[in-house]
Amino acid sequence: MYLKRDNIPKFWPIPRKGTKYLAVSKHNCYESIPLVVVLRDILKIVRNNKDVKRLINEKQIQVNYKDIKVTNYPISLFDIITFTKTGECYKATLSEKKKMVFEEIKGKESENKPYKIMNKKVLSDKKIQVNLMHGRNMIIKEKVKTGDTLIYNLKEKKIVKILPMEKGREAFIIEGSHAGYKGKIEDIIERGGKILAKINSDKGKINVWSKNIIIIE
């Protein structure tokens, strides 16, 4: 499946002029960029789809420390791309221009991924299932609230820590007019039945709906 270049989402950091069609992610297409576009058009590591297939077949590339099978695998916010042969790692994040960019990372940073807890429910055996951003679900023992952030070690497949949404925490804005900015939460208030975070950011003091932020520290 392909997408006309004129219709690509605004967060794709590629020019609107070029080849007429671009690949579409296998799933989660409204929040992700297909791997082939990331490697060819953004990181410029490969020349074409054939090169991506070769890396996949030779198990030279992983996403979140998992082998993948398709060139249009979706790369979403905070996903980590690892090149197994060189050890290079890149994390997907947002720039202040609301574009997805890829930062080279090393060490423990390349192993841990933050997941925002979108909602949760108690199962029949009293275990807690949390529903995370980008559709991932997980059974956990830890006490958490909706809006908290779960830091997960992708290599060891375990929770490193839980970051509650509270005053004094560092937040990253993932959606809305201030997307791409980060700052410290100075206060959390309720307005019109919704939770609003007052953040002291690089852009100054701004108010952001809690659904649009993820706690990063």
Let me know whether 84 and 141 are in one domain: no
C-alpha distances out from residue 15 to 11, 22, 97, 98, 191, Å: 11, 12, 14, 14, 39
Other C-beta atoms lying within 10 Å of the C-beta of residue 174? 21
Distance CA 150, CA 177 (A): 25
pLDDT of residue 27: 85
pLDDT of residue 130: 94
| Angle at 92 (CA atoms; ends 90, 8), nearest 5 degrees | 125
In this prediction, residue 191 carries a pLDDT of 85
Residue 103 has what pLDDT?
96
**pLDDT single digits (tens) 25-45:** 988 888 999 999 999 999 999
97 and 118 assigned to the same domain: no
Write the CATH number for 44: 3.10.290.10
Verify that 104 and 18 share a domain, yes or no. yes
CATH, residue 156? 2.40.50.740
My answer on whether 80 and 154 are in the same domain is no
Domain boundary among 147, 163, 179: 163
Name residue, tokens 């905070």. 78
* Predicted local confidence at residue 116, as pLDDT: 97
For residues 15 and 101, state if they share a domain. yes
Q: Quick one: 8 and 34 in the same domain? A: yes
pLDDT in tens, the chain (217 residues): 677 887 888 999 988 777 778 888 988 888 999 999 999 999 999 999 999 999 999 999 999 999 999 999 999 999 999 999 999 999 999 999 999 999 999 988 899 999 999 999 888 777 889 999 988 899 998 889 999 999 999 999 999 999 999 999 999 999 999 999 999 999 999 988 889 999 999 889 999 999 999 999 9
Domain count, the chain: 3
Q: Supply the range of the domain harboring residue 195.
A: 170-215
- Give the model's pLDDT for residue 99: 96
Q: Are residues 85 and 132 in the same domain?
A: no
Q: Please state whether the predicted TM-score (pTM) of the whole model is above 0.95.
A: no
7 and 87 together in one domain: yes
Residue-wise pLDDT for 107-121, tens only, equals 888 999 999 999 998
Residues 188 and 154 placed together within one structural domain of the fold: no
Would you state the pLDDT for residue 135?
86
What pLDDT shows up at residue 72? 96
